[in-house]
Amino acid sequence: MPIKDVLLPLVGEPSEQATAGIDTCVAVARHLGARVVALAIEQDIQVRPQPISPDLDNSEMTEAVRSVTDARGLLRAFDRAAVRFGVRNEQRLQRLAASDIAVTFSERARLADLSLVPMKQDGTSEKLVEQLLFESGRPVLICPEQLAAGLSITFDDVLVAWDHSAPAARAVADALPLLQSAATVRIITATDSRTPREISSGSALVAHLAEHGIKAQFEAVRIDGSSVGKVFEAYVRSHATDLLVMGAYGHSRLNEIIWGGATKTVIGRPPSWVMMSR
């Protein structure tokens, strides 16, 4: 199924990196021929004003004052990008408490083909991506804001992380439109064992994709004492990969939170565009 309707969640402040992320996401939406629904959230925050004078009783001034993030600034940045790239769009603004933001996005994402997320390197962005993965029923396409200015807006070189799990299979199915338009598709399994089952599974995926007109190549990549997530990152960088496709939380979510895992590593520091499904 082609990707024609995407959700763009907008939270935080309209910094230079945030604006670059929005621009890059909108450019990708244009490449896909998709409509973008930009949902910006004014998040309640607390601001403490500076005391007027150390000689005065400023007890009242130390009380927290309610304020909100500049979601309207994010929407203005989106509007400029939408006009520049000629993208069909819809813009929405809501004011929410921090605890309600991720739930609101995941509910809205159920009516989109995917969520296109400008990713900051902070806990809020990670929680948002996790909520979307577990509660939206749709894939998530992550754009790392710190890399946005240098990211490709076409996915010519795509890497598929394959471990024969249900999330990995779902990610492949969700990414089919992107794989079909790619010039190069690589499939890797991160393993030190190279068991017959792992090799045959990778070869079977190559054959499956061939039925969809996709010419892919498979290889098993050694972990060698590293971590699976870092293996993916190194492979992406060494092969100038535009997009990493992977299943999310193939193991217990609690296990990954406590011990770390490929999903947590990649969400925490995406090495490129990343498409995740669960």
**pLDDT digits 0-9 by tens, 78-133:** 999 999 999 999 999 999 999 999 999 999 999 999 999 999 988 889 999 999 99
Q: Does pLDDT of 262 surpass 80?
A: yes
> Two tokens at 78?
């989106």
Check residue 261 and give its pLDDT: 84
Q: Are 153 and 28 in contact (CB under 8 A)?
A: yes
Q: Does pLDDT of 249 surpass 70?
A: yes
> Residue holding tokens 């995740």?
276
Check residue 54 and give its pLDDT: 56
Q: Are 148 and 24 in contact (CB under 8 A)?
A: yes
Is 154-277 the same fold as 5-149?
Answer: yes
Question: What's the mean pLDDT when you consider all of the chain?
Answer: 91
Q: Does pLDDT of 62 surpass 50?
A: no
Q: Which of 193-207, 240-254, 255-269 has the highest mean pLDDT?
A: 193-207
Instruction: Specify the fold of 154-277.
Output: Rossmann fold (3.40.50)
Check residue 47 and give its pLDDT: 64
pLDDT (mean) for 45-68: 57
Check residue 201 and give its pLDDT: 97
Q: Model confidence over 172-202: pLDDT tens digits?
A: 999 999 999 999 999 999 999 999 999 999 9
pLDDT (mean) for 245-264: 68
Q: Are 187 and 221 in contact (CB under 8 A)?
A: no
CA distance 242 to 95: 35
Q: Does pLDDT of 225 surpass 80?
A: yes
Q: Are 273 and 151 in contact (CB under 8 A)?
A: yes
Q: Percentage of residues in the chain with pLDDT exceeding 90?
A: 82
pLDDT (mean) for 261-278: 94
**Domain ranges across the chain:** 5-149, 154-277
Q: Percentage of residues in the chain with pLDDT exceeding 70?
A: 88
pLDDT band for position 254 (cuts 50, 70, 90): very low
Check residue 197 and give its pLDDT: 95
**Least confident among 22-26, 64-68, 127-131, 219-223:** 64-68
Check residue 52 and give its pLDDT: 56
Does domain 5-149 sit in CATH 2.60.40.10? no
If DSSP states are collapsed to H, E and C, what string results for the chain? CCCCEEEEEECCCCCHHHHHHHHHHHHHHHHHCCEEEEEEEEEEEEECCCCCCCCCCCCHHHCCEEEECCHHHHHHHHHHHHHHHCCCEEEEEEEECHHHHHHHHHHHHCCCCEEEEEECCCHHHHHHHHHHHHHCCCCEEEEEHHHHHHCCCCCCEEEEECCCCHHHHHHHHHHHHHHHHCCEEEEEEECCCCCHHHHHHHHHHHHHHHCCCCCEEEEEECCCCCCHHHHHHHHHHHCCCCEEEEECCCCCHHHHHHHCCHHHHHHHCCCCEEEEEC
